[in-house]
Amino acid sequence: MKEHIRVLIVLTICARLYFAVQNSYLHPDEHFQNFSIINSILHPNTAAAGDIPWEFQGPSPARSLIPLYLVYYPLFWYSPATITPIQQLYLVRLMFCFVSWIVVDYSMIRLASSSTRKNLTWLALSYTSYITWTYQSHTFSNSIETWVLCGCLMVIDSIKTQMENYQFVKSQQKSQDIKEESPLKIDNNYGKLSVLAVLVVFGMFNRITFAAFLVLPGIIYLGKFFFQYKKFLSLMVFIMVCGLTIAGFGYGDTILFEHFHPGYQQLQYNFQYQHHKFIIPPLNNLIYNSEYTNLAKHGIHSRITHLFINLPQMLGPLYLICIVNFKNYFQFARINFQYLKNWATNTPNHSLLKQMQTNEQYQDIMNLNVVYLTIVSGMSILSLVPHQELRFIVCLQPLFLKIMDFEFLHEQFVTKTEKADDNKKENTFFMITSKSKTLVRNILWVWYVYNAILGTLMGVFHQGGVITALDHLREQYSSNNGTIGSVQVWWRTYSPPTWLLGDAKPVIVLKYDDLVPVDGTTEHDDNLRVLLEYDYLAVSNSTVVVDVMGMDIDKLYRLLDRIVQTVTTGAKDVQLVAPVGSMDGKFTEFYKNSRRQFQWHEVWGDFWHIDMDHLEPGQYRPGIGVYSIV
């Protein structure tokens, strides 16, 4: 390994560990779909009921508890009592970082048995990707999806390789007229298929869209294994293990929801067998998301968002390289299809197939066919769903980097050699010249700079002050032993994950909603009146968190006025948490031009915070502050 590669890997390993313990906050789901649920199970008396996401509420839960208990719960259960919530967050992120490191690296290096040069290329690109530094170490279900997908692809690729080796040996025996001493057999792969079945079911219980990535590789290679090689018993084993795993996970979810769910008597069961009832959350999720009106509640995107917005954001300058690589792949796929079509009509073009099989580029692409098929399958099916976010395709990031090939940038030469029959045979090869070497080096430098900028933005600054502000508020109110309550108004931030406030006192969460349906009409109103009429002194020593999101400034002032008038006895502190830029700009400007019965001053601040959802002229200053309202 060259010295500069060693230095690069060491530096990026340090960067990977550094970003894993930073406070950036990429999306609410990295807290609310896991930590908030676990916190409500471990601390039911103090956890905020308002922080339970919709997937875990209602009579038909749409997310499974099984992945939470298998991945997150052990770290919470065995952690010492003295550990703080933010330390718990760092611990889980480091666990995600190391598991991703081991599983993804091992599987990508083993996948398709690539050459050392190609593996080093993948390492250099993967280790310097901001997706690896941030999304893969943050506590998303999409990060878990990456691990499971890599495991599934290793199993499918090993079966693919076994079939290819079988075909090669058979063809050698046939061409050399070798008599078989014993019939050549292909293994039944009961163990591999059982592992694959468990991984597939776990992946679907983690995220129902997981199956989208395995449709094409499963149909082409598993279908070939089961039917062309007549491995019907292996198919039965695979189906049986899938069924047993679904039944086990479904029964486990049923037990957990009956104990965890606040209104389990009203649960709607998907299946019932004798006295046993089963909840299948992935099925409920599929039914829910099949309704366009339900997807509209979470945001409707163009169906080309993944392809033309999310993928360029993930790959940066390598997006164009990826397009060329796929152009080559589809060219070879078209030739393969044409050969199969001719073969089906009894007019196979064997010379065309032989010419392709001697093409080094074709061999490289076909070795990675499982990877290509997974990408095509996932991107195609997920693009049909009109709700598309970058994190939905981060599990494909290692696969996109695996297929990156810069060979087409090198100088291409064609040589012609004379054969005995006077026919000329053309050989195409690539040579790395100083010009092509400089071009590749420049592309990589742009890649490094791009990821350094995005890594700093998304891994350090993005909503990073929300986490530290919660930790500050936890320390502040833990110091008074829970004798004084508080009202926290969060403005222009992501929803605060209140599990980071600890379990010292009860937490009540109120959320502003400007999409409340008006009865009998198609119009919407907000719930500001509910927030204005709420009794903030109902529970004296509680923490009331009011998440007003991007509420208009005039409504925010009305709400703060009301809260200050209500909390006049000093029994609770009133604090506003907001970006510094918004406070210096719109908040201060409105305050000067209005008569209000409160004053405010900053009591704590954190520079490492950027609010990208409310950037306005003159409000670009980074940072977040906690402001006392009196």
Q: Is the pLDDT of residue 420 over 60?
A: no
* Average pLDDT, integer, range 284-305: 91
Euclidean distance between CA atoms 162 and 187, whole angstroms = 8
Q: Dihedral through CA 450, CA 452, CA 453, CA 459, nearest 10?
A: 130
Q: What is the mean pLDDT of the chain?
A: 87
Q: Is the pLDDT of residue 400 over 80?
A: yes
Look at 557 and 407; give whichever has higher pLDDT: 557
Longest dimension (CA), the chain: 104
Look at 418 and 179; give whichever has higher pLDDT: 179
Residue 323 one-letter amino acid: I
* Average pLDDT, integer, range 291-303: 89
Q: What pLDDT, on a 0 to 100 scale, did the predictor assign at position 574?
A: 92
Q: Is the pLDDT of residue 613 over 90?
A: no
pLDDT digits (tens, 9 = 90+) for 209-268: 999 999 999 999 999 999 999 999 999 999 999 999 999 999 999 999 988 766 556 788
Look at 34 and 341; give whichever has higher pLDDT: 34
H or E segment and range at residue 572: strand 572-579
**Confidence band of 428 (pLDDT split at 50, 70, 90):** low
**Confidence band of 482 (pLDDT split at 50, 70, 90):** low
Beta bridge partners of 601: 628
Euclidean distance between CA atoms 395 and 206, whole angstroms = 13
* Average pLDDT, integer, range 351-375: 79
Least confident span in 69-83, 239-253, 308-322, 379-393: 69-83
pLDDT digits (tens, 9 = 90+) for 114-123: 677 788 889 9
Q: What pLDDT, on a 0 to 100 scale, did the predictor assign at position 503?
A: 76
Q: What pLDDT, on a 0 to 100 scale, did the predictor assign at position 197?
A: 98
Q: Is the pLDDT of residue 418 over 60?
A: no
* Average pLDDT, integer, range 349-363: 67
pLDDT digits (tens, 9 = 90+) for 317-329: 999 999 999 998 8
Q: What pLDDT, on a 0 to 100 scale, did the predictor assign at position 211?
A: 96
Q: What percent of the chain has pLDDT over 90?
A: 57
Least confident span in 130-134, 280-284, 376-380, 581-585: 581-585
Residue 601 one-letter amino acid: H
Q: Is the pLDDT of residue 144 over 80?
A: yes
Q: What pLDDT, on a 0 to 100 scale, did the predictor assign at position 412?
A: 57
Q: Is the pLDDT of residue 351 over 80?
A: no
Q: What pLDDT, on a 0 to 100 scale, did the predictor assign at position 72?
A: 94
**Confidence band of 438 (pLDDT split at 50, 70, 90):** confident
Q: What pLDDT, on a 0 to 100 scale, did the predictor assign at position 172?
A: 73
Residue 213's nearest CA partner among 153, 294, 254 is 153
* Stated pTM of the model: 0.92
Q: What pLDDT, on a 0 to 100 scale, did the predictor assign at position 293?
A: 86
* Average pLDDT, integer, range 368-392: 95
Q: Are 473 and 606 in contact (CB under 8 A)?
A: no
Other beta carbons within 10 angstroms of residue 470's beta carbon come to: 24
**Confidence band of 341 (pLDDT split at 50, 70, 90):** low
Look at 414 and 222; give whichever has higher pLDDT: 222
Beta strands at 624-629 and 572-579: parallel, antiparallel or unpaired: antiparallel
**Confidence band of 19 (pLDDT split at 50, 70, 90):** very high
Q: What pLDDT, on a 0 to 100 scale, did the predictor assign at position 264?
A: 57
H or E segment and range at residue 342: helix 319-344
Residue 131's nearest CA partner among 496, 140, 611 is 140
- At residue 271, φ and ψ (nearest 5 deg) are -140, 155
Per-residue tokens: 342: 């001719």
**Confidence band of 183 (pLDDT split at 50, 70, 90):** low
Q: What pLDDT, on a 0 to 100 scale, did the predictor assign at position 353?
A: 62
Per-residue tokens: 610: 């950027």
Least confident span in 147-151, 288-292, 352-356, 407-411: 352-356
pLDDT digits (tens, 9 = 90+) for 441-468: 899 999 999 999 999 999 999 999 999 9
Q: Is the pLDDT of residue 171 over 70?
A: yes
Euclidean distance between CA atoms 154 and 203, whole angstroms = 15
Which DSSP state fits 269? P
Beta bridge partners of 19: none
CB-based contacts of 163, cutoff 8 Å, min separation 6: 186, 221, 224, 225, 229
Q: What percent of the chain has pLDDT over 70?
A: 87
* Average pLDDT, integer, range 584-589: 84
The three-state DSSP-derived secondary structure of 169-203 is HHHHHHHCCCCCCCCCCCCCCHHHHHHHHHHHHHH
Q: What pLDDT, on a 0 to 100 scale, did the predictor assign at position 115?
A: 73
Q: What pLDDT, on a 0 to 100 scale, did the predictor assign at position 92?
A: 96
Q: How many residues does the chain have?
A: 630
Look at 179 and 601; give whichever has higher pLDDT: 601
Q: Is the pLDDT of residue 414 over 60?
A: no
Euclidean distance between CA atoms 575 and 493, whole angstroms = 14
Q: Is the pLDDT of residue 398 over 70?
A: yes
**597-627 as b/e: b if 16+ CB within 10 A:** ebebeeebbbebbbbeebeeeebeebbbbbb
Q: What pLDDT, on a 0 to 100 scale, did the predictor assign at position 73?
A: 92
Q: What pLDDT, on a 0 to 100 scale, did the predictor assign at position 242?
A: 97
Q: What pLDDT, on a 0 to 100 scale, did the predictor assign at position 111?
A: 87
Q: Is the pLDDT of residue 14 over 70?
A: yes
**Confidence band of 188 (pLDDT split at 50, 70, 90):** very high
**Confidence band of 572 (pLDDT split at 50, 70, 90):** confident
**Confidence band of 180 (pLDDT split at 50, 70, 90):** low
